[in-house]
Chain A
Amino acid sequence: MASIKTYTTIFGVLMAFSTVQFVFEFSGLLEDNYGPIMAVILVLSVLKAMAVAGWYMHIIEEPRSITYIALAGVLGVIALTVGATYSIS
C-alpha cells in the first residue's frame, strides 16, 4: 500500500486530467482540431486508467502476471474493435 499522500496526489491528478478533457470540449478546441485533440483526450483517459489501476488497485505491487490478465482483456477488446471497424472501412 502506498501512503495516503500518494493516494491524494493521484486523486488530484485524476481530477485535473478530467477537467482538461472537459475543457477541450467546452472551449471548442475539439471542434476545431478534431483528430489530434481526440487523440489527446483518449490518451488522458488511458493515463487516468493506468493511475487508478497502478495505485488504487495497486497493480504495481502485484506480480506482473496480474497485469497480464488485464492486458489480455484489453488486447481482446482492441482486436475486436479494430478488426470489426477496419473490416467495413
Chain B
Amino acid sequence: MTESADSHHLPPKSTVKRWLVTTDHKDIGVLYILTSIFTLVLAGTLALLIRAQMWTSGGLILNGLGYNQVVSAHGLLMVFWFLSPFAFGLANYFVPLQIGADDLAFPRLNALSYWVYLFSIVLFGVSFFQGATFSGGWTMYAPLNVPTVDASSVTQIGGFAAILALTMFVTSVTLGSVNFLTTIYRQRAKGLRMRDIPLFSISILLTVWMMLFAFAALLAALVILSAEHLIGTVYFASDSGGSVLWTHLWWFFGHPEVYIVFFPALGLLGEIVQTFSGRRLVGRKWFVIALALVAIQSFIVWMHHMFLTTINLPIKTVFMVTTIGISLPFDLMVFALIYTMVKGRIRWKTPFLFALGALVIFIIGGITGVFLGAILLDYSFRGTYWVTAHFHYAMASAAVAIIGGIYYWFPKITGKMYNEFLGKAHFVAAFVGFNMLYFPMFVVWETPRRVFVYDTGLTLWHRVATLGAAIFAASFLLMFYNLVKSMYSDRDVTDSPWAYTGSMEWAVSSPPPEENFPGTPSYASGSLEFLDRSATDGGAVADGDAATDGGAVADATTAAAQPADHASWWPFLIGFSTLLTGIGLSGISGPYFVWPFLFTLPVFIAYLGIKGAQHDGFALIHGAYLTASFPLLALLLVLFDADHGFMTGLGEASNYFYITIVGTVLGAMTLIGMGYESFNVPEPKLAEQWPFGEVESTKLGMWTFIGSDIILFGALIGSYVFARFNFGWHEWWEAAEVHKATWPGLANTYILLASSFTIVLALVYAKRQDKRKTLGFLSLTFVGASVFMLNKSIEWIELFWHEGWTFNTDLMASTYYLTTGMHAAHVLVGMLIMLFLIARTYTGAYMGEEESQTIEYFGLYWHFVDIVWLFLFPVFYIL
C-alpha cells in the first residue's frame, strides 16, 4: 500500500488530459459531482417544463407525447443520473479519506464506472433527438415499453436508446458497487473495525450492498426488455402475466432503489448533525443497526407498489406488515438525530441548515409514507399526487441533505470557504421554494399524476406549486455563484475549518494531498496516527491533530518510487465505445443485431495477437491468433452472405448497423488494451480487513460480482418460473409444440462439467509451475467451451429453423432462448478471456503460487457459469 501512494504521475490539473486519464478517486469524485450537477440542471429544466404545463388544466406548452417524455425523462434522470451519482461523487472523494485508503481498490475500474456513467448521459441526451425519448414514465410499465405494443415509430428508436442508456448506467453502478465493497472491506486503516468507520462510509457501504443486488435485478429486467426490442421476445407483451411480471421485477429493484438514493443522505445527516451539534451521535450503535436492518428489509417490501394489481390478499397483508415494519427503524434514526441536537453546541452554519431542512422534510415524507402503507388508503392514493408529494418529500430530502454535504466538504475539496451569507440565502430560498412546490401537492392530491388535466378548482394550488418550483430552481443559481466565486477567494481554510469534527478527512490538509495522507493512517493506538511510510510497521511520525501541510509531505513520500503509471486512457475509450454501441443498437434492425458482435470476434482475436506480441514479445501463439482470425472472418462473411446476401445485406444495412460495428470493434480493442496495460495496485499491507482478511482484493471483487450475477440469472429464472406458473406449469411444454431438447442438454451438461474440471487442473498445474500442462488444460477448457457452443448452435438451429420455433413464437420460446442465450453469452465471454489467458500463459505468465491467481479468478467465473447451467439443465431441459 505504501508504495502505491506516491505521486501517480498524472498530468497537471490545469490540463484537459488530466481529467480524461485520471484514476485518482478525488479527481473522479469531482467529475462525478460536476456531471451530476449538470444532470440536475437538465432534469430540473424538465421539471420546470412540467410545472409550466400544469399552470392551467389542459396544459400550456406541450402535447400529450411531449409531456410524457418530459415527465419520464425528468424522473429517470433525477433518480438515476442525478441523485445517486451526486452522492457517489462525495463517496468517491471521501470514503477512502474516511477509512484511511489511498484510493479505491480498483482505480481504473473506478474511472471506467465514471466514463460509462458519463457516456450513458450522452446516450440519453441523444435519445431526445431520435424522434422522441422514452415516454412511459420512470417506472417503464409494461407492455407500453415494448415495441410491438407501442408501435408508433416516433417513440421507437429514442425510447430504446433511453433504455440502453439505463443499461449502461446499471453497468457503471455494478462496477462501482464491486469497487466500493472491496475497498471498504479491504483497505481500512489499522484499528478501524467495520463498526468504527464513519457514518457516511457506513451508509455508503450499505448503499452499495443494496446496489449490488437490486441493480442486478434491474439489469435482468432491462435485458429482457432489450430482447423484446432487438429480437422480439414476448415476455412483457404476452397476455400471460407479462405486465405483472414487469411490476415485480421493477419494484423488486425499485424499492431498494429508493433507499439507495436516500441512504447516503442519512449518513451525511449523521455526520453533519454530529459536527454542528458538537455532540456525538446519540445511540450510534442503534442507528447503524437500524440502517442495516432497513437495507435488508428493503428487499421484501416491493409489492406495496402493487396493491392494485392482481396480487392476492394474503401477500398484500405480508407486504403491508413488512412496509410498516420498515418505517420503524427510520423512526429510530430520526429520533437519534434529534436527540443528538439536544444539549449540543449548535452552530447554524449552512451545512447544518440544510441538514435540518432535510430532516424536517424527511419527517413529512416518512409520515405520508405510512399513509401509503395502509393498503386501503393506498388504493385511493395510488397514481395520484399524494404519491408524487410523498416521494418528493422523501427523495428530495436526500438531495437537500447531499447539498448540505457539498457545503460541508466544499472547504475540504477546494481549500476555500464558501460565502456563509449566500449559503444561508440559498437555504432559505430553497426551503421556501421546496415547500411551496411540494406541499400544495398534498392539498391537491386528488390530481392524477402524470396527467395535465385536473379539476379547475385546484388551479390556484397548482400555480403556487409552479411558482415554488421557480424559486426552488433559482435558489441553485445562488449556490453555483457562491461556490465558483469562493473557489477564487482568499478564504483559505485549515485542515478542519469546522469545530467538533472527528473523522480522518479532517486530519489532512485542505485540499488533501495527492496521496491522501502524510503517512500510513492507523488507529491501532486508539486514536489516529500517521505512520512513517518507509517503515510501515515502524514508529509514529505525525500526530493526527498536527497534520503537516500537504505539499511538503508529498515531496517526502515520492521517494519510494513505483513505476506504475496511474494515468490510463482505456476507461475513457471503453466508455466511448459503449456509447457508440448504444447508439447503434438503438436503431439497428432485428436481423442485423448479432452481426456486429460476430464480426468483432475475428478482430478481437487478431488484436489479441498483435497486442500480445507487442507486450510479451512475438511468439507462435500470437501468429496463430492472427492467422486464425482470417478464416473466422471469412466464415462469418459466408454466413452473412447466406443470411442477408453480401452486397444487398451491406447495402440495406442502416447507419445504425455501422455505428454498432465501430462501437463493438472499438470496445474489443480497448478492452484488450486495458487488459495488457500494466497497472499495479499492490494489496494493502497494513490494513484492517475483517471479515475478508485472507481474501485478496481481486478475489473479493470477483465474488461480489458473482453475487450480483446470481441475482441476474436468478431473476431470469424467476421470471420463467413466474411465467410458467401463471400459464399453468404442466401445460407449458404441451402448448409449446416442440419437444424439450433433453439429449443435447445432457451432452452440454457433461461438456460444461468437464470444462470446469479441466480449468481446476489448469490452476493446479499453474501453481506447480508446469507451463505445458497448464496450457494444455486451459486449451482443453477452451475446446470444451467451443464444443458446448457448437452443440448449442445445433440445438438452436434445429428448433429455430427446422421447427420454426422462433423467439416470438410463444412465451416458452422467449424464455428458453433468452435464458439459455444469456448463459451462452457468458460462455462466449469466458472463451474470449481464455484466449487472453492462453496467450499469456504461452509466453510464461501465471506460473507459481501468487501469479496463478489470475487463473483462479477466471476459474471462479467459469465455475459460476457452470453452476448456472446446472440449474438451467433441469429447468429448461427436463421439467
Q: Do A and B bind each other?
A: yes
Q: What is the interface of chain A, defined by CB distance below 8 A to chain B?
A: 1, 4, 7-8, 11, 14-15, 18-19, 21-22, 24-26, 30, 34, 38, 41-42, 44-45, 48-49, 52-53, 56-57, 62-66, 69-70, 72-74, 76-77, 79-81, 83-89
* Cβ–Cβ contact B714 & A74, under 8 A: yes
Q: What is the interface of chain B, defined by CB distance below 8 A to chain A?
A: 213, 217, 241, 244-245, 248-249, 252, 299-300, 302-303, 306, 310-312, 315, 691-695, 700, 703-704, 706-711, 714-715, 717-718, 721-722, 725-726, 730, 740, 742, 746, 749-750, 753-754, 756-757, 760-761, 763-764, 767, 859-860, 863-864, 866-867, 870-871, 873-874, 878-879
Question: When the two chains form the complex, which single residue of A30, A45, A63 contacts B870, counting CB atoms closer than 8 Å?
Answer: A45
Question: When the two chains form the complex, which single residue of B694, B715, B746, B763 contacts A18, counting CB atoms closer than 8 Å?
Answer: B746
The docked-state distance in angstroms from the alpha carbon of A30 to that of B570 is: 53
Can you report 6 A-B residue pairs in the complex whose CB atoms are below 8 A from each other? Answer: A8-B757, A14-B753, A34-B730, A57-B860, A76-B299, A87-B315
The docked-state distance in angstroms from the alpha carbon of A24 to that of B871 is: 16
* Cβ–Cβ contact B691 & A76, under 8 A: no
* Given contact pairs A72-B707, A76-B299, A77-B714, A49 touches B750 in the complex (Cβ within 8 A): no
* Cβ–Cβ contact A22 & B754, under 8 A: no
The docked-state distance in angstroms from the alpha carbon of A86 to that of B248 is: 12
Interface pairs A-B: 5 shortest CB-CB: A77-B714, A73-B710, A81-B718, A87-B311, A65-B691
* Cβ–Cβ contact A79 & B707, under 8 A: no
Q: Given known contacts A4-B761, A77-B715, A83-B315, what 12 new A-B pairs fall within 8 Å (CB)?
A: A7-B764, A18-B749, A21-B878, A26-B742, A66-B700, A70-B710, A84-B252, A84-B718, A85-B722, A86-B315, A87-B315, A89-B725
Question: When the two chains form the complex, which single residue of A53, A81, A86 contacts B717, counting CB atoms closer than 8 Å?
Answer: A81
Residue of A nearest to B248 (CB): A84
* Cβ–Cβ contact B703 & A80, under 8 A: no
* Cβ–Cβ contact B714 & A62, under 8 A: no
Given the complex, which residues of A lie within 8 Å of B693, measured CB to CB?
Answer: 63
The docked-state distance in angstroms from the alpha carbon of A64 to that of B690 is: 11
* Given contact pairs A4-B764, A48-B870, A84-B722, A69 touches B703 in the complex (Cβ within 8 A): yes
Residue of A nearest to B708 (CB): A73
Question: When the two chains form the complex, which single residue of B299, B311, B312 contacts A79, counting CB atoms closer than 8 Å?
Answer: B299
The docked-state distance in angstroms from the alpha carbon of A21 to that of B749 is: 11
Given the complex, which residues of B lie within 8 Å of A14, measured CB to CB?
Answer: 753, 756
A16 to chain B, nearest CB (A): 10
Question: When the two chains form the complex, which single residue of A70, A79, A84 contacts B245, counting CB atoms closer than 8 Å?
Answer: A84
* Interface hub of A4, A19, A25, A84 (most chain B Cβ within 10 A): A84
* Cβ–Cβ contact B695 & A62, under 8 A: yes
* Cβ–Cβ contact A81 & B714, under 8 A: yes
The docked-state distance in angstroms from the alpha carbon of A69 to that of B691 is: 12
Question: When the two chains form the complex, which single residue of A7, A26, A80 contacts B714, counting CB atoms closer than 8 Å?
Answer: A80
Given the complex, which residues of A lie within 8 Å of B691, measured CB to CB?
Answer: 63-65
* Cβ–Cβ contact A85 & B703, under 8 A: no
Residue of A nearest to B316 (CB): A87
* Cβ–Cβ contact B706 & A18, under 8 A: no
A77 to chain B, nearest CB (A): 3
Given the complex, which residues of A lie within 8 Å of B709, measured CB to CB?
Answer: 73
Residue of A nearest to B753 (CB): A14
The docked-state distance in angstroms from the alpha carbon of A12 to that of B626 is: 38
Residue of B nearest to A69 (CB): B707
* Cβ–Cβ contact B879 & A88, under 8 A: no
B215 to chain A, nearest CB (A): 12
The docked-state distance in angstroms from the alpha carbon of A80 to that of B213 is: 12
The docked-state distance in angstroms from the alpha carbon of A63 to that of B185 is: 13
Residue of A nearest to B745 (CB): A22
Given the complex, which residues of A lie within 8 Å of B761, measured CB to CB?
Answer: 4, 7
Question: When the two chains form the complex, which single residue of A8, A22, A70, A73 contacts B746, counting CB atoms closer than 8 Å?
Answer: A22
* Cβ–Cβ contact A56 & B756, under 8 A: yes
The docked-state distance in angstroms from the alpha carbon of A26 to that of B739 is: 13
* Cβ–Cβ contact B742 & A22, under 8 A: yes
Residue of A nearest to B709 (CB): A73
* Cβ–Cβ contact B863 & A53, under 8 A: yes
The docked-state distance in angstroms from the alpha carbon of A73 to that of B712 is: 9
Residue of A nearest to B718 (CB): A81
* Cβ–Cβ contact B692 & A88, under 8 A: no
The docked-state distance in angstroms from the alpha carbon of A28 to that of B859 is: 36
The docked-state distance in angstroms from the alpha carbon of A80 to that of B760 is: 33
B700 to chain A, nearest CB (A): 8
* Cβ–Cβ contact B248 & A77, under 8 A: no
Given the complex, which residues of A lie within 8 Å of B241, measured CB to CB?
Answer: 88
B294 to chain A, nearest CB (A): 16
Question: When the two chains form the complex, which single residue of B692, B722, B750, B870 contacts A81, counting CB atoms closer than 8 Å?
Answer: B722
The docked-state distance in angstroms from the alpha carbon of A26 to that of B864 is: 27
Given the complex, which residues of B lie within 8 Å of A88, measured CB to CB?
Answer: 241, 244, 310-312, 722, 725-726
Given the complex, which residues of A lie within 8 Å of B750, measured CB to CB?
Answer: 15, 18
The docked-state distance in angstroms from the alpha carbon of A44 to that of B715 is: 21
Residue of B nearest to A62 (CB): B695
The docked-state distance in angstroms from the alpha carbon of A49 to that of B752 is: 13
The docked-state distance in angstroms from the alpha carbon of A45 to that of B872 is: 10
The docked-state distance in angstroms from the alpha carbon of A8 to that of B754 is: 10
B350 to chain A, nearest CB (A): 39
A5 to chain B, nearest CB (A): 11
* Cβ–Cβ contact A56 & B300, under 8 A: no
Question: When the two chains form the complex, which single residue of B310, B711, B757, B873 contacts A76, counting CB atoms closer than 8 Å?
Answer: B711
Given the complex, which residues of B lie within 8 Å of A66, measured CB to CB?
Answer: 692, 695, 700, 703
Given the complex, which residues of A lie within 8 Å of B742, measured CB to CB?
Answer: 22, 25-26
B749 to chain A, nearest CB (A): 5
Given the complex, which residues of A lie within 8 Å of B315, measured CB to CB?
Answer: 83, 86-87
Given the complex, which residues of B lie within 8 Å of A41, measured CB to CB?
Answer: 874, 878-879
Question: When the two chains form the complex, which single residue of B715, B767, B863, B871 contacts A57, counting CB atoms closer than 8 Å?
Answer: B863
The docked-state distance in angstroms from the alpha carbon of A36 to that of B471 is: 66
The docked-state distance in angstroms from the alpha carbon of A63 to that of B874 is: 31
Given the complex, which residues of A lie within 8 Å of B706, measured CB to CB?
Answer: 69-70, 73
* Cβ–Cβ contact A73 & B760, under 8 A: no
